[in-house]
Amino acid sequence: MVVVGHGMVGHRLVEALRARDDDGTWQITVLAEESDAAYDRVGLTSYTESWDRALLALPGNDYAGDERVRLLLNARVTEIDRAAKSVLTADGQRHDYDTLVLATGSHAFVPPVPGHDLPGCHVYRTLDDLDAIRAAAEQAHHAGHDSAGVVIGGGLLGLEAANALRQFGLQTHVVEMMPRLMAQQIDEGGGALLARMITDLGIAVHVGTGTESIEAVGRPDGSSSMRVRLTDGEVVDAGVVIFAAGIRPRDELAAAAGLKLAERGGVFTDLACQTSDPDIYAVGEVAAIDGRCYGLVAPGYTSAEVVVDRLLGGGAEFPEADMSTKLKLLGVDVASFGDAMGATANCLEVAINDAVNRTYAKLVLSDDAKTLLGGVLVGDASAYGVLRPMVGSELPGDPLALIAPAQSGGGASALGVGALPDSAQICSCNNVTKGDLKCAIADGCADVPALKSCTAAGTSCGSCVPLLKQLLEAEGVEQSKALCEHFSQSRAELFEIISATELRTFSGLLQRYGRGRGCDICKPVVASILASTGSEHILDGEQAALQDSNDHFLANIQKNGSYSIVPRVPGGDIKPEHLILIGQIAQDFGLYTKITGGQRIDMFGARVDQPSGDLAATGGRRHGVGPRLRQGAAHGEKLCGQRLVPVRAAGFGPAGHRPGAALPRSAGAAQDQAGCLGMCAGMRRGPRQGRRHHRHRKGLESLRSRQRRDDSAACPAAGR
């Protein structure tokens, strides 16, 4: 078998055939056009956090040690000779096949607007594309102008591209011809809320308008930029333009070989994924299965499994595809599942649009209101994991209660996986039901990694992993205290390891004591430990990519994607000019303020393009005040009481002090630390004090008394 293309679906095809071909009947040749073996395109935006291609590589993508599989990179196929049953690559080599599988995927659709081929225009599909976009963004910053980027297309991929531009530090604009963002996934109510939340994140949203032209604009210094003209008359100057206006199947090879194409593009196949040539199959985005192309990875995986079953003598057919999607960008949750648009005849809808908390939830029900058909979630998608598997099943109660706010005692999350029938599909990417998982548990799978290995559930997008753990607990399986599947140790054990070995990077710890690539559980935990045991700035090097939203921006994220700022006021002692300054900053930037239950000042509504240090620095310069105000830790995050000081502006520290770095360790600086930062002497001693107390669990009162004496000596104001 020859496989043309080595994306996520092509890799899944090869892995499935290797796993099921026990007799070693098939010899496989994989021809990959790119220089990288199969990688996670779903997580493409995460590449901008580390710029490490290896972190996106799919497990086992090189097939090392398997003599049945030969992988050739940089092997672009230029011709299919159906008569000779061979393919020709760009370097002139021919590869014979008994069965050919086309897994060529798709390419970005670039609207034929004038100027679409200018040097600053890019698409958003591959790792090479992101490298090119990064270089263009850096060039725009270096030139000192055009710090704006325009994304043409407001769908799922367009919002991912907008997030990447934002991470590059560009003022971002999203242009969408449809009247709302993500028009294929969410309805009008959800789209309106999403647009407001995206705008609050500092991204300009232009909906209901198209792109008229892109013009090159010369500058006096000899450089050039672009001017994007929209059909509504608005003009945006930009240094980078990204086209994310949809995809088109890469069917040119099939067309040249005379294979039947679908009316709207793609290689036409039957439900067995077989083309008009019985020796050629098509999978993934290039396949128009029964005339329809699918742009999501889950249907692509299903098509790969169908082909493998057919090659091994089975009779599998492509089922109805699950088009559920879930997206999260800087705290903005969006999810849709089932018949989200209410296309079913005589269906009913129930919705909650909470403008205050900025959440929108809608369920689509059968005409008797007993069966869940689909839904949309915006702002809070925590119920997605439970609701999506319930599609097609009878509801356990009042449908309105399933989308009620969790704080009111309602919500689907309160039901848990136990409320789902055995036929409920837990993992839509790999078509794994609750019944399949229960059988695997009965056969001895006692943890999440074992379930993943046995059933493949949770090995793709990972959104169903929490349900796997819930199901194990519901079935009475005692769970490991391991931090996650990547570390067998607990958090306390990892703390001891890092302290003893003096490892200072997540990658180093993972290489020596873990496995895999890490996840959203272990990364922020390790970041917390590294911040607790060292004095490096938490946003230096690879640690920046580990932080959760709060610590990445040194502020406290809210449900609507904005942030709150808590100025640090040690001992409650504050000068009148500082109080005036805080009020002026809140007024200038439109921040809502309140006195918290802990008698501290909290300012709400800050955006990441107006971080807390910039707000304070701006206010201080404007009013001629040199304040020593710092962001406090409102909810006990790891910045509270650590040796590392999250200084937010250049003027907030000793002369020549770098923002965010640890303060000098001199005796005078120590007193400044205690007095101005509110850090008790016990905290300044470092992690050993905490470890000793944790290990022996005694002497608590004595420790507290000693800390109070030290604090009084170091800072009389704090002692009083």
What is residue 283's predicted lDDT score, i.e. its pLDDT? 97
Task: Report residue 396's pLDDT band, with 50, 70 and 90 as the boundaries.
Answer: confident
Architecture of the domain defined by 2-106+248-311:
3-Layer(bba) Sandwich (3.50)
pLDDT at 509 over 60: yes
The mean pLDDT value for 642-646 works out to: 38
Rounded CA gap, 427 and 389, in Å? Answer: 8
State the pTM of this model. 0.66
Three-state helix/strand/coil letters over 198-248? HHHCCCEEEECCCEEEEEEEECCCCCEEEEEEECCCCEEEECEEEECCCEE
Lowest mean pLDDT among 94-98, 373-377, 580-584: 580-584
More confident: 683 or 140: 140
What is residue 637's predicted lDDT score, i.e. its pLDDT? 41
What is residue 609's predicted lDDT score, i.e. its pLDDT? 61
Q: 305-318: per-residue pLDDT in tens?
A: 999 999 999 999 99
What is residue 703's predicted lDDT score, i.e. its pLDDT? 44
pLDDT at 329 over 70: no
Task: Please give the class, per CATH, of domain 121-245.
Answer: alpha beta
Task: Report residue 223's pLDDT band, with 50, 70 and 90 as the boundaries.
Answer: low
pLDDT at 675 over 60: no
- CA angle (172 as vertex; 169, 175 as ends), nearest 5: 160
pLDDT at 699 over 70: no
Question: Which two structure tokens, joined as six digits, stand for 441?
Answer: 């548990």
pLDDT at 82 over 70: yes
Domain ranges of the chain: 2-106+248-311, 121-245, 423-477, 491-547, 550-679, 680-720
Lowest mean pLDDT among 87-101, 204-218, 326-340: 326-340
What is residue 485's predicted lDDT score, i.e. its pLDDT? 80
The mean pLDDT value for 573-581 works out to: 87
Task: Report residue 684's pLDDT band, with 50, 70 and 90 as the boundaries.
Answer: very low
Neighbours of 330 (CB within 10 A): 21
pLDDT at 157 over 70: yes
Q: Coil, strand, or helix at residue 177?
A: coil
More confident: 192 or 446: 192
More confident: 241 or 563: 241
**Pairing between strand 287-289 and 267-269?**
parallel
What is residue 658's predicted lDDT score, i.e. its pLDDT? 45
Q: 88-137: per-residue pLDDT in tens?
A: 999 999 999 999 999 999 999 999 999 999 988 999 999 999 999 999 88
Rounded CA gap, 109 and 246, in Å? Answer: 5
pLDDT at 472 over 60: yes
pLDDT at 412 over 50: yes
Q: Which of 385-399, 433-447, 545-559 has the highest mean pLDDT?
A: 433-447
What one-letter code names the amino acid at 9? Answer: V
Task: Report residue 413's pLDDT band, with 50, 70 and 90 as the boundaries.
Answer: low
Q: 525-571: per-residue pLDDT in tens?
A: 898 898 888 877 766 767 666 766 566 666 777 766 677 888 877 77
What is residue 507's predicted lDDT score, i.e. its pLDDT? 86
Average model confidence (pLDDT) across the chain: 80
Name the residue among 141, 205, 197 with its Cα closest to residue 167: 141
Name the residue among 486, 408, 498, 495 with its Cα closest to residue 449: 486
What is residue 638's predicted lDDT score, i.e. its pLDDT? 38
Q: Please check whether the two domains, 2-106+248-311 and 423-477, share a CATH topology.
A: no
Q: Coil, strand, or helix at residue 447?
A: coil
Lowest mean pLDDT among 21-30, 125-134, 507-516: 507-516
The mean pLDDT value for 383-387 works out to: 83
pLDDT at 632 over 60: no
Architecture of the domain defined by 423-477:
Orthogonal Bundle (1.10)
Task: Report residue 696's pLDDT band, with 50, 70 and 90 as the boundaries.
Answer: very low
With a pLDDT cut of 70, the percent of the chain lying above it is: 78
